[in-house]
A = this chain, B = another copy of it.
Amino acid sequence: MRDALTEWREPIDREIEQLLPRTITEETLADLFGPPRYEYDTEAIAQALFEPVWDLLDRGGKRWRPVLFLELVDALGEDPEQYLPYATIPEILHTGTIIVDDVEDDATLRRGEEAIHLRYGTDIALNAGNALYFVPLKVISANPGDLDPSQQLGIYEMLTFELNRTHLGQGTDIVWHNESEIDITEAQYLEMSACKTGCLGRIAGRLAALVTDSSDAVEDAFAAYAESLSIAFQIGDDVLDVKHSLDQAGEFGKAFGNDIREGKRTLLVIHALKKADPADRDRLESILTAEEVTDEEIEFVLSILQETDSVEFALETAERLAADARSQLGEVDIDPEVQAELEDFTRYVIERDR
């Protein structure tokens, strides 16, 4: 899978450029969005949409959802090349959600640079991010791979279902973030993450089953694999943030404890709140809901996370999810070589160091 990430990178980015050309003219706009009834302001549309989106896309990103889609198609014994344009769907949707999430979360950095809303303005960022919720859907009507109408319909229905749930997850996370008392069960955390993050993975998984006209059993297994993988990936991210913070705490001039500063309700924090003494718990809650957080407070939170074995607990949960993802793949008849790669990927998302 890690080789696949390198190997598919260029073909995926070429497809993204088909969907969203780097430079546009009146003609490309008419090709992409239909002819104008009156007259497009091409320059304004370039500024509003194409510039901010390419700024973000050019900053990198792992493109793991499109690669997952292609690998799953491959696992079913079909030629991924044939369905390459569909790979852009989860990636572009993901790109749209991170632009919008950064506004919602008041984030300052994205992929090591200024967040899009800080560079281009909140208005431009939101509109561009939202546009990306609909741009990739154009792939379905272009119909690469010559799908049956019932398959196309299945893709639209799947996307509607998953994108609705994405907003339930993000909404839940926002409400938690704004609350001063934190009373979240582990099951509620996993559901929030299944919706917020898992749905974009599920889109990649279900799409692979749908374009290949596979059975419902395959679609369900791929969806469950991708969902568990996505949650494990998220927990892996949250663990990394704490590990880096523990490494960097006390080092002069380095920012650390970003998630703590933002008051993120990670699985680690939820576990620590459950296990900590009442007094520590109160201080933890007040730090997580504070506007400004000192380095000393971050170090206090890190010490509580350590005392309550929260990193270990989070890693165990991630490993349970990864094992679940692997067992889901075991339910369906797929190419054993690709299966091994996909199993390997469930380990990588937890063990990676960046």
- Per DSSP, are chain A's interface residues mostly helix, strand or loop, or mixed? helix
Confirm or deny: A121 has a beta carbon within 8 angstroms of a beta carbon on chain B: yes
Q: Which of B40, B177, B191 contacts A36 (CB 8 A)?
A: B191
Question: Contacts A41-B176, A48-B171 given; 10 further ones with Cβ under 8 A?
Answer: A37-B194, A39-B188, A45-B172, A48-B175, A127-B170, A130-B133, A131-B164, A134-B163, A140-B156, A140-B160
Q: At the interface with chain B, which of A64-72, A100-108, A210-218, A301-309? A: A100-108
Which residues of chain A from 117 to 157 have a CB within 8 Å of any chain B CB?
121-124, 126-128, 130-131, 133-135, 137-138, 140-141, 149-150, 152-153, 156-157
Chain B: minimal CB distance from A146 (Å): 15
16 CB-based A-B contacts, threshold 8 Å? A38-B187, A39-B191, A44-B175, A45-B168, A48-B168, A48-B172, A49-B168, A104-B122, A121-B178, A124-B174, A134-B160, A134-B167, A137-B160, A140-B157, A149-B149, A149-B150
Residues of B within 8 A of A135 (CB): 164
Residues of B within 8 A of A176 (CB): 41, 44
Q: Flag A13-39 by CB within 8 Å of B: 1 or 0 each.
A: 000000000000000010001101111
State the 5 A-B residue pairs at the shortest beta-carbon distance, nearest first.
A48-B171, A131-B167, A39-B187, A104-B123, A38-B191
Q: Determine if A48 and B188 form an interchain contact, defined as CB atoms under 8 angstroms apart.
A: no
Confirm or deny: A340 has a beta carbon within 8 angstroms of a beta carbon on chain B: no
Cα A223 to Cα B34 with chains together (Å) = 14
Confirm or deny: A47 has a beta carbon within 8 angstroms of a beta carbon on chain B: yes
Confirm or deny: A185 has a beta carbon within 8 angstroms of a beta carbon on chain B: yes
Residues of B within 8 A of A163 (CB): 133-134
Q: Which of B122, B138, B164 contacts A134 (CB 8 A)?
A: B164
Cα A134 to Cα B164 with chains together (Å) = 6
Cα A105 to Cα B124 with chains together (Å) = 10
Residues of B within 8 A of A192 (CB): 41
